[in-house]
Structure 1
Amino acid sequence: MKPLEGVRILDLSRVLACPFATMLLAEMGADVIKVEQPGTGDETRSFEPFFDFGVSGYYLACNRAKRSITVDMRKEGGRQVIRDLAARADVVVENFPTGALKRRGLDYASLKAVNPRLVYLSCTGFGQTGPYAKRKGYDTVFQAMGGLMGLTGERGGGPVKPGLPVADLTSGLWVAIGLLAALRGRDATGQGAHVDFSMLDGQVALLTIAAARLFALGEVPPRLGTEHPGRVPTASFQCRDGRFLHITASDQHWAPLCTALGLHDLLEDAALSTNAGRLAQRDRVMAAMTAAMAALTRAEAVAALDVVDVPNGPVLALDEVVADPHVQARGCITEVPHGEARYPALRLPFRFDGFDDPVPRPAPPLGADTDGILSELGYDTARIAALREESAI
């Protein structure tokens, strides 16, 4: 069995952060019922890129292993469907603007009345309280306001966003963690809970060691490209063949590193034997390292550093990552069926001993499970037909 079998999640969310979270839980065994707007569904069903079988790769990347029901929550019949689903659910996840579901009688207080054991998570940009509670935002807004962009970029340059929607994806991880914690607490006490998650809060919480430098030293870490503000040498270096190699070295790696690269002058300087000394002479160390690495191909540099156990890794393009022999050996890339087609997908990074491993399963066509889910609630064919007549499903 999978570790979350028996957990039922009512997923009222859309786009990326929360759908990513509920997909993680679905592939670990939870029964995730994804509620979508009739006719259109989750907005990401229309987002690029599209596979050659006509389905959005964006949607498929975050909605595997779920069941889809179409419900129009603007109709009373649709709202009653949500109440009935919530009555049997362990979890409700929603990312509507603050107050939107309260106006429809589908907020935590309303659904708790039909299911006191319910764990209800609200994911918003800025939380349920505070001066920004009504503001709207997207991934890059939270990267900007949460400090990530301010820390990212080349030395002396402007802010740069990472190549992935980091605020959305890490928010998905926070949501999954919060739900699992609340479920554990619910199982211990018998009482449900409301989890108020703010995507801005999630980004601020990730500042960790950058914030530690501010709190301990009063320092706002400058943008340093691939360099580390508190460790030298840690950076990506361009090699003779134009490729880049990233090196992370602590004190125990300094002498082997200097020996491997022929940096004898640096090795003989006792002041550089500690990280504090190298921080004080960052420019000298980085200049010598840059020149030494430029004399080697990346393969030569990897071979020289691997022999002396200095941590290093080639900076790989995306196609190189998926073709990497270790990534392939670990089974990180798999194929998922979608009707008659199959498409490549990324597996979850867990391998269990004692439970079944999470294996990607297809994302649902829009509304594919509507009748089956309503039948599970005890709705007969006449009632389902009436809801369709009302356009509530």
Structure 2
Amino acid sequence: MSPLAGITVLDFSRVLAGPMATQILAELGAEVIKIERAGGGDESRRFEPRLPGGESAYFFAFNRGKRSVTLNLKSPRGQEIARGLAKNADIVVENFLPGVMDRLGLGYGDLSAANPGLVYISNTGFGQDGPYAHRKGYDTIFQALSGIMALTGHPGTPPAKAGVPISDMTSALWIAVAALTGLVGRGRTGRGAHVDLAMMDVQVSLLALAAARLFALDEDPVRTGTEHPGRVPSAAFECADGRWLHISGSDQHWKPLCDVLGLPELAADPGLAANAGRVAQRARVMEALSGAIAGRGRDELADALRAADVPVGEVNSVREVLSDPHIGAREMVGHIEHPVEGTFPALRTPIRIDGLDRPPLAAPPLLGADTDAVLSETLGLDPAEIARLREEGTI
């Protein structure tokens, strides 16, 4: 049995943060009903890269295991149907600008009046209040505004975005946390809640260590590349074969590292035995380490350092990590069977719970594939009524 079996999620969200969160809930066993615009659906259905049958690999990444219902939320009948579906839901997720769902008669006040146990999550860019509440934004906008972009990259180079859409994806995790927290709270009080979750707030929360430097030292952190601002060594080094190796060690790793690299003078220097001394002499230490590592092949050196119990990681490409034997043994790459695209690879939800079923890999839905079934099963509409709704453009 899946841990969220019996939980129903009504998902009005689009693109990435909301859909990623509801995919997690779906793969933990919840029934997720994805509400999409008739004709077009979630705009990410048109995002690149496209597969041979025309489906979007972007959409595939965040919408597995859901049911798709097309609904015109601008029509009174469409709004009525949405309210009917919400009466039977445990969780609602939406990512419209503040006030939009209220104007549609689908805000928390409207839906919770008929369903007091509803956990309603509003995931917006800047929250339900504040001077930026009605601004629009995308992942990289939040990376820029939050300071993350200013911290990413090498000294003396322009700011850089993270290699993955970190603002969207971390917000997705907090949506999932909020949903599960809301269910626990409901189990104790019998009532649901309205969760105001702003992507900007999530990004600011990621500044915990950078903010600690500001609070403690009045130092505004800057770009440091792969180097850690408070620990030496912790950086990526280029090896003789042009590949890169990341080494991150604490005091107990310092002498073994020096021994492997043939740097006895550094190992014997009492001023470098503790991290504070190495930070104070960062330039000297990094120059010596870089020179020694530049003469060694990456794989040989990685093996030697691991044998000495020094933490080390090869800087892998996406292709390299997805073909890594450990990732294979953990079965992180699975496959879905899609009615248009056939067999297609997919990354698994990483949660494993002893005694419970492993989260399955189910295909993302075709647009509107479940409209008739959901309206029939949940609202009791007969085929003739469903046909009328389709003819009038409600579904």
TM score, norm. by length of structure 1: 0.99
**Paired residues, number:** 393
Deviation of 1:313 after TM superposition, in Å, equals 0.5
Query: Equivalent residue for 2:380?
Result: 378
Which runs of structure 2 are paired with 1:1-393 in the superposition (5 Å)?
Answer: 1-339=1-339, 341-376=342-377, 377-393=379-395
Query: 5+ unaligned residues in a row in structure 1: which ranges?
Result: none
Cα distance in 1 for residues equivalent to 2:347 and 2:53: 19
CA RMSD of aligned residues (A): 0.9
Cα distance in 1 for residues equivalent to 2:237 and 2:360: 37
The Cα offsets for residues 222-241 of structure 1, whole Å up to 9 and x where unpaired, read as: 21100000000000000000
The Cα offsets for residues 350-392 of structure 1, whole Å up to 9 and x where unpaired, read as: 2221110102101110000001100111112232122122211
- Residue 385 of structure 1 aligns to a residue whose secondary structure is helix
Partner amino acid, structure 1, of 2:385? R
Deviation of 1:53 after TM superposition, in Å, equals 2.7
Cα distance in 2 for residues equivalent to 1:112 and 1:389: 31
The Cα offsets for residues 284-304 of structure 1, whole Å up to 9 and x where unpaired, read as: 000000001001000121121
Partner amino acid, structure 2, of 1:354? G
Partner amino acid, structure 2, of 1:211? A
Cα distance in 1 for residues equivalent to 2:369 and 2:118: 26
Cα distance in 2 for residues equivalent to 1:281 and 1:255: 16
Cα distance in 2 for residues equivalent to 1:139 and 1:274: 39
TM score, norm. by length of structure 2: 0.98
Cα distance in 2 for residues equivalent to 1:128 and 1:11: 19
Partner amino acid, structure 2, of 1:185? G
Deviation of 1:204 after TM superposition, in Å, equals 0.4
Deviation of 1:16 after TM superposition, in Å, equals 0.5
- Residue 221 of structure 1 aligns to a residue whose secondary structure is coil
Deviation of 1:157 after TM superposition, in Å, equals 2.1
Partner amino acid, structure 1, of 2:328? Q
Deviation of 1:311 after TM superposition, in Å, equals 0.3
The Cα offsets for residues 139-161 of structure 1, whole Å up to 9 and x where unpaired, read as: 00100111111111101222111
- Residue 202 of structure 1 aligns to a residue whose secondary structure is helix
The Cα offsets for residues 119-153 of structure 1, whole Å up to 9 and x where unpaired, read as: 10001100000000011111001001111111111
Partner amino acid, structure 2, of 1:114? A
Cα distance in 2 for residues equivalent to 1:222 and 1:142: 18
Cα distance in 1 for residues equivalent to 2:167 and 2:40: 26
Query: 5+ unaligned residues in a row in structure 2: which ranges?
Result: none
Cα distance in 1 for residues equivalent to 2:160 and 2:59: 26
Partner amino acid, structure 2, of 1:119? V
Deviation of 1:113 after TM superposition, in Å, equals 1.1
Cα distance in 1 for residues equivalent to 2:385 and 2:58: 34
- Residue 157 of structure 1 aligns to a residue whose secondary structure is coil
Cα distance in 1 for residues equivalent to 2:353 and 2:53: 33
Cα distance in 1 for residues equivalent to 2:391 and 2:337: 33
Cα distance in 1 for residues equivalent to 2:114 and 2:381: 18
Cα distance in 2 for residues equivalent to 1:193 and 1:14: 22
- Residue 113 of structure 1 aligns to a residue whose secondary structure is helix
The Cα offsets for residues 307-336 of structure 1, whole Å up to 9 and x where unpaired, read as: 101000100011111111111111010111
Cα distance in 2 for residues equivalent to 1:378 and 1:289: 70
* Percent identity for Structure 1 against Structure 2: 56
Deviation of 1:27 after TM superposition, in Å, equals 0.4
